[in-house]
Amino acid sequence: MRYHLLVVIPYVILVQGCLHHGSGRTLQRAAHIYLSTTPEDLRIVSAPALIEHLASGKGRDLVIVDTRSAPEYEAGHIPGALHIPFRAAAERDTLERLPKGRRIVIVCKSGHTASMLNAIYNMMGYEAVTLKDGMKGWQEAGGPLVSGLRIE
């Protein structure tokens, strides 16, 4: 229930703001489609499930996007994760880097920021999920970390 509210509340506010300005019919429709098609798992993946998936060698079907600050990312991130700061996540150059045919796993500190971006990306046609409990959950589950900046 907690994640459901974290995803829904910002978008209700966003949709209402756009409707107030008269430009929100498309956004309202996208929000409706997103909310009405959200599966019971609320587009969330647990750290143990992601660790298992990556360890099985099937990780090529995923793109892991880390939305934390550069210093946080550099201090330790999931191997192979792209660093895309939250504020740059919807810029045209950023979106062009994201493959539409692969699931995007969005990572932040705790899962909150990733849940917001999850909703936005899904409304834009990407298949995105949030890493439950973010890097906190990843570390508690014993997920591997690498440090340094990944250049793309």
Q: Residue 18 catalytic?
A: no
Burial code (b: 16+ CB inside 10 Å, e: under 16) for 85-122 equals: ebeebeeeeeeeebeeeebbbbbbeebbbbbbbbbbbb
Given the residues 31, 42, 45, 108, the one annotated as active site: 108
β pairing state of 103-107 and 128-131: parallel
> What amino acid positions are annotated as catalytic residues?
108
